[in-house]
Structure formats: C-alpha cells, structure tokens
C-alpha cells in the first residue's frame, strides 16, 4: 500500500476546504477595501516609468555618488586605522622609555 499526501479523511478535506474559502474571502475583502490605493500605486508606477523614459540617466545617477562616497568612507576608515596605529606606537614608545 502506497501512502499518499492526498489520503486524508473526509473531515480533514472539509476543514482545509473551509479554511481556504475563508482565506480567499479575506483576501477578496482586503483587495476590495484597498482598491483605491492599488489604483494610485499603479498610476505612480506608470508616471515613474514615463519619467525614466524621458530621463534615462536617472537610473545611473545614484551609482556614481555612491561609488564616490564609498571610496571616501574607505579612505576615512583607513586613515583612522593608520592614525590609531600611530598613536598606539607613540604610547608604546613612551611606556618603553619610562
């Protein structure tokens, strides 16, 4: 005898059927209640697509400042590491002489 995932009792089938009916009903109510917001979101997406078609450089623009800021922050972090290591070496020298 082969065990199957579909070998559930009638009671279990009824439970899952009603549970999914309730979930689908709740989903339909949420979609119905939020239909105005969904329409607004669709219009915003359409306008954004039009803007990107008119100004394709907008897609690339955020990448350039991010790269510049990323390099400067890396240099800043390295500068802090170098300065802290120099300070540590100076303190070690002071301790060695005293």
Question: Mapping DSSP to helix (H, G, I), strand (E, B) and coil, where does residue 90 land?
Answer: helix
Cα dihedral value 89, 92, 93, 98, nearest 10: 160
Report the C-alpha gap between 50 and 57 in whole angstroms. 13
In this prediction, residues 89-97 reach a mean pLDDT of 75
Does the pLDDT of residue 87 top 50, yes or no? yes
Report the C-alpha gap between 9 and 13 in whole angstroms. 6
The per-residue pLDDT for range 15-41, each reduced to its tens digit, is 989 999 999 999 999 999 999 999 999
Report the C-alpha gap between 16 and 6 in whole angstroms. 12
Q: Specify the pTM.
A: 0.44
């Amino acid at each position: 005898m082969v065990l199957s995932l579909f070998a559930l009792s009638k009671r279990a089938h009824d439970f899952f059927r009603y549970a999914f009916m309730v979930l689908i009903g709740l989903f339909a109510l949420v979609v119905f209640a939020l239909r105005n917001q969904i329409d607004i979101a669709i219009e915003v997406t359409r306008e954004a697509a039009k803007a990107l078609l008119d100004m394709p450089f907008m897609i690339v623009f955020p990448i350039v400042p991010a790269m510049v800021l990323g390099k400067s922050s890396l240099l800043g972090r390295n500068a802090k590491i170098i300065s802290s290591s120099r300070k540590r070496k100076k303190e070690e020298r002071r301790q060695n002489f005293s």
